[in-house]
Amino acid sequence: MVRVARRILHGLLLLLGVSTLSFVLVSAAPGNFFDELKLNPQISASTVASLKMAYGIDKPWPVRYERWLRSALRGEFGYSLSYRCPVGTLLWPRAQNTLLLTSLATLLAWMIAVPWGILEALNRGKWLDRIGGGVTAIFLAIPELVLGLLFLLLAARTGWFPTGGMFSSHGAEAALLGKLPDLGIHLVLPVVALVFGAAPLLIRYVRSAVAAVLDAPFIEAARGHGLSTTRIVYRHALPAAANSLISLLGFSIGALLSTSLIIEVVLDWPGLGPLVLESLLARDTYVVMAVVMLSSVFLVTGNLLADLLLYASDPRIRTV
Amino acid sequence: MSMNSGHRQLLLLFSLVLLHVFMVVPGFFAPYDYSEQNRELPFSPPTRLHFIDSAGRFHLMPFIHPFRASEDGSAPYVEDQARAYPLHLLKDGAPYRVLGLWTARLHLFGVEQPGRIFLFGTDDFGRDELSRMLFGGRISLLAGILGAAMAIFAGAVLGVLSGFYGGWLDGLIMRTAELFLALPWLYLLFAVRAILPLHIKTTQTLLLLITVVGLVGWARPGRLVRGIVLSAKERNFALAAKAMGASNFHVLRWHILPGTYGVLLTTAALLVPQFILAEVTLSFLGLGVGEPVPSWGSLLAELQNYSVLTSYWWMYLPACSLIVLFLTYHWASTTLQDKVAEVRS
The domains of chain A are located at: 2-87, 96-318
**Sign of the CA dihedral with B261 first, then B262, B267, and B269 last:** positive
Q: Once rounded to an integer, what is the mean pLDDT over residues B202-217?
A: 74
Question: Which one of B186, B284, B321, B322 would you mutate to disrupt binding with A, by most A Cβ within 10 Å of its Cβ?
Answer: B186
| Residue among A149, A162, A187 at smallest CA distance from A265 | A149
A276, B190: Cβ pair inside 8 Å?
Answer: yes
Dist. CA B130–CA B32, nearest whole Å = 9
Q: Which residues of B touch A147 (CB under 8 A)?
A: none
- pLDDT score for B326: 92
- Judged against a pLDDT cut of 80, whether residue B75 lies above it is answered with no
- Contact with chain B for residue A156, Cβ under 8 A: yes
Long-range contacts, stretch A159-165, CB < 8 angstroms, 24+ apart = A161/A185, A161/A186, A161/A188, A161/A189, A162/A186, A162/A189, A163/A267, A163/A268, A164/A267, A164/A268, A164/A269, A165/A268, A165/A269, A165/A270
With a CB cutoff of 8 Å and minimum separation 6, the contacts of A231 are A222
Q: How confident is the model at residue A57 (pLDDT cuts 50, 70, 90)?
A: low
- pLDDT score for A105: 92
Beta bridge partners of B110: B88
Dist. CA A82–CA A283, nearest whole Å = 9
Q: How confident is the model at residue B62 (pLDDT cuts 50, 70, 90)?
A: confident
Long-range contacts, stretch B97-101, CB < 8 angstroms, 24+ apart = B97/B27, B98/B25, B98/B27, B98/B28, B99/B24, B99/B25
A139 Cα to chain B: minimum distance (Å): 9
Residue in A31, A152, A300 closest to B182 by CB: A300
A317 CB neighbour count, 10 Å cutoff: 13
- pLDDT score for A231: 87
B179, A14: Cβ pair inside 8 Å?
Answer: yes
Q: Once rounded to an integer, what is the mean pLDDT over residues B185-192?
A: 80
B11, B156, B207, B302 from B310: Cα distances, Å: 36, 46, 34, 12
- Judged against a pLDDT cut of 50, whether residue B38 lies above it is answered with yes
- Judged against a pLDDT cut of 60, whether residue A171 lies above it is answered with no
A276, B187: Cβ pair inside 8 Å?
Answer: yes
Q: Which residues of B touch A276 (CB under 8 A)?
A: 187, 190
- pLDDT score for B1: 43
- Nearest-Cα residue of chain A relative to residue B312: A153
Instruction: Report pLDDT digits (tens) over A191-219.
Output: 999 999 889 989 988 998 888 888 889 88
**Sign of the CA dihedral with A13 first, then A19, A24, and A25 last:** positive
Q: How far apart are the first and last CA of chain B?
A: 29
- pLDDT score for A203: 92
Instruction: Report pLDDT digits (tens) over B10-33.
Output: 888 898 898 888 888 888 888 888
- Nearest-Cα residue of chain B relative to residue A151: B309
B32 Cα to chain A: minimum distance (Å): 26
B193 Cα to chain A: minimum distance (Å): 9
Q: Once rounded to an integer, what is the mean pLDDT over residues B211-233?
A: 85
Q: Once rounded to an integer, what is the mean pLDDT over residues A83-91?
A: 82
Which of A60-64, A110-114, B218-222 is predicted with the least confidence, judged by mean pLDDT? A60-64
A100, A147, A155 from A179: Cα distances, Å: 15, 27, 20
- Please give the CATH topology (third level) of the domain spanning A96-318: MetI-like fold (1.10.3720)
The three-state secondary structure class of B62 is: strand
Dist. CA B257–CA B243, nearest whole Å = 18
Dist. CA B126–CA B107, nearest whole Å = 20
Tell me the whole-structure pTM to 2 decimals. 0.85
Instruction: Report pLDDT digits (tens) over A219-260.
Output: 889 888 988 888 888 888 888 888 888 888 877 887 888 888
Dist. CA B237–CA B62, nearest whole Å = 64
A258, B185: Cβ pair inside 8 Å?
Answer: yes
- pLDDT score for A214: 87
- pLDDT score for A309: 84
B310, A143: Cβ pair inside 8 Å?
Answer: no
CA atoms within 13 A on the CB side of B138: 23
From chain A residues 244-303, the ones with a CB under 8 A of any chain B CB are 254-255, 257-259, 261-262, 265, 276-277, 280-281, 283, 285, 288-289, 291-292, 295-296, 298-300
- pLDDT score for A108: 94
- Nearest-Cα residue of chain A relative to residue B310: A153
A12 CB neighbour count, 10 Å cutoff: 12
Residue in A21, A28, A145 closest to B179 by CB: A21
Cβ pair B208, B200 in contact under 8 A: yes
Do β-strands B77-79 and B85-98 pair in parallel, antiparallel, or remain unpaired? unpaired
Instruction: Report pLDDT digits (tens) over B294-326.
Output: 888 888 888 888 888 888 888 888 889 899 999
B197 Cα to chain A: minimum distance (Å): 6
Q: Which H or E run contains B116?
A: none
B300, A18: Cβ pair inside 8 Å?
Answer: no
| Residue among B108, B154, B121, B112 at smallest CA distance from B268 | B154
A255, B184: Cβ pair inside 8 Å?
Answer: yes
Interface of B with A (CB under 8 A): 175, 178-179, 182-188, 190-198, 277, 280-281, 284-287, 300, 303, 306, 309-310, 316, 319, 322-323, 326-327, 330-331
Q: Cα torsion at A256, A261, A265, A268 (round to 10°)?
A: 60
- Judged against a pLDDT cut of 60, whether residue B118 lies above it is answered with yes
- Contact with chain B for residue A194, Cβ under 8 A: no
Phi-psi map region of B137: left, alpha, beta (phi>0 left; psi -120 to 50 alpha) = alpha
Residue in B178, B306, B323 closest to A141 by CB: B323
Q: How confident is the model at residue A30 (pLDDT cuts 50, 70, 90)?
A: low
Query: Over chain A, what is the mean pLDDT?
Result: 82
DSSP codes joined into one string, chain A: -HHHHHHHHHHHHHHHHHHHHHHHHHHTSS--TTHHHHH-TTS-HHHHHHHHHHTTTTS-HHHHHHHHHHHHHTT--SEETTTTEEHHHHHHHHHHHHHHHHHHHHHHHHHHHHHHHHHHHHTTTSHHHHHHHHHHHHHHHS-HHHHHHHHHHHHHHH-SS-SS-SS-TGGGGS-HHHHHHHHHHHHHHHHHHHHHHHHHHHHHHHHHHHHHHHTSHHHHHHHHTT--HHHIIIIIIHHHHHHHHHHHHHHHHHHHHHHHHHHHHHTT-SSHHHHHHHHHHHT-HHHHHHHHHHHHHHHHHHHHHHHHHHHHH-HHHHT-
Cβ pair B179, B239 in contact under 8 A: no
- Judged against a pLDDT cut of 60, whether residue A145 lies above it is answered with yes
B53, B106, B141, B156 from B22: Cα distances, Å: 32, 15, 10, 29
Q: How confident is the model at residue A111 (pLDDT cuts 50, 70, 90)?
A: very high
Q: Once rounded to an integer, what is the mean pLDDT over residues A277-287?
A: 82
B186, A281: Cβ pair inside 8 Å?
Answer: no
B326, A296: Cβ pair inside 8 Å?
Answer: no
Q: How confident is the model at residue A116 (pLDDT cuts 50, 70, 90)?
A: very high
Q: How confident is the model at residue B66 (pLDDT cuts 50, 70, 90)?
A: confident
- Judged against a pLDDT cut of 70, whether residue A291 lies above it is answered with yes
Cβ pair B336, B268 in contact under 8 A: no
